[in-house]
Each structure stands twice: as structure tokens, then as C-alpha cells.
Amino acid sequence: MIAVVTGGGSGIGSAVTDRLRKAGADVVVWDLNGGDIDCDISDPASVAAAIDKTVADHGPPDRLVACAGIGASGLLLEQAPSDWQRVIDTNLTGTWLTMRATARAMVDAGSGGSIVAVSSISGTLADRDMGAYCVSKAGIDMLVRVAATEWGPHGIRVNAVGPGVTRTPMLGRVEQLPGWVEGLTERTALGRLGQADDVAETIIAVLEMSWVTGQTVFADGGLALHSPIDAYGQMQRLMARGGRQ
């Protein structure tokens, strides 16, 4: 197995890389920091150079995990167009460029393969102050469905994995907000924040599912199951506060 992992220098990508290498795969990490090949996924020329070097040095890949992406915040009425474009260029267009380059190598080799792109539950749920990020991840969900339809005849499966809140460098300082982690833990069915390896485990599983394509699988511990209406939860919180008085 020859696998390309974008964004494999840290976070979820690094956890995926570790799991693949332990399983004996020849893994090529494309990243701007800590990768085997320096690659800016938002730049078509950089992606083209990365796939050319990968094929020349390792052979055509039969697996791709597209993890590279950036976080962002900004209210829709206030965000600068340049900031919006930077998020879309990296998360959505960059994922498309990466998928297209590796799929072309798979088609040319006649080998088929499997692609998993990292989406997010924020591609389905609306998060205030994260409009560009939400839109970019929603785009990935549709991208994998169209790609699965177009590339299926070539034996290429294409899916997405949507993490919930995961402890990675991208999470940053928001984890330090008073009560934030506690609130998320309460709303998550499995009762904790996710770790990078939790998501990597799901990605590896989906990567090898031979009869699954065009799907987005949430790896969120059940966070997206929780309705914001939650009258029961509010009642429980009020009772808990009353008991502490």
C-alpha cells in the first residue's frame, strides 16, 4: 500500500500516518511543516509537483487521506473577503486539488484505490462565528459524493470522515474558555472530547471499507446527536445548580 497523507505533520494527520506506518504502508506525508514533501495544497503547481515526486519516488498511490486544512473564525458581516477566500482555498479547493491529483495517478495506473477527506460536523451544523469554515467543510461533503460518482467506474472509493471537537493544535486557545470543555463533555454522548487517534481510527476503518463510497461518517463521540433545544438538559442543569446552593 502506498498512501499519501496531507497535513500529516501534526494532529489528526500525524495520528493517521502513525497508524498506517504501523500497518506496513509506505506513507508519503505532504505538509508545509514536518512532511516528507513540502506542499501547499491550495497551490495547483505545488500539488502537481508533490504528486510527480510521490509517483517517481514511491510509485502511484492507492490511498489518500486528505487531512490538511485550517481553522478560522469570523462573523459573516465582519469577515474580510481575503480571510474567507483563504479558508475556502485551503480547506475546499485544496482538498479538491489533492484528490484530483491522486485520483489521476490511480486512474493512470489502473489500480483503483480509496480516498478519505477530513470534513467536520460543522459541515452539517451551523456554528456562529465560523461561517467560512462551515461552508468549506460542507463543500467537502458534496465533493466526495460527486467524486465517488465520477471515479467509481475506475475502482476508486471516495468518502469523508467528519470529526467533532478534537484535541489538536487547531483547537488552540478556545479550550481555555471557562466552562467550555465541561459543556461540550455534557453534550457529547460518550462524555469526553475526542483525541486525534480517535478520529484516525475511524479514517483507517473507512479507508478500507470495500463497499462504501460517497459517504460522510461522523467521528464525534455523539456530539452531533444533541439537539440545541434540549429542554431535558436545561432542567437537569437547573436542578444541579439548585442542589449546590
- pLDDT band at 174; cut points 50, 70, 90: low
* Beta-strand relationship, 194-195 and 216-219: unpaired
What digits encode the pLDDT tens for the residues 55-72? 999 999 999 999 999 988
Specify whether domain 2-168+193-223 bears CATH 3.40.50.720.
yes
Mean pLDDT of the chain: 92
Domain range list for the chain: 2-168+193-223
Mean of the pLDDT values across residues 211-235? Answer: 86
Instruction: Determine the Cα–Cα distance for residues 193 and 172; give it in Å rounded to an integer.
Output: 14
| Residue-level pLDDT at 41 | 97
| Residue-level pLDDT at 76 | 95
- The set of catalytic residues is 133
- pLDDT band at 12; cut points 50, 70, 90: very high
Please say if the pLDDT value at position 184 is more than 90: no
Cα 79 to Cα 60, 73, 121: the distances in Å are 40, 8, 22
Mean of the pLDDT values across residues 183-197? Answer: 88
- Structure pTM? 0.91
Provide the grid cell at 15: 495520528
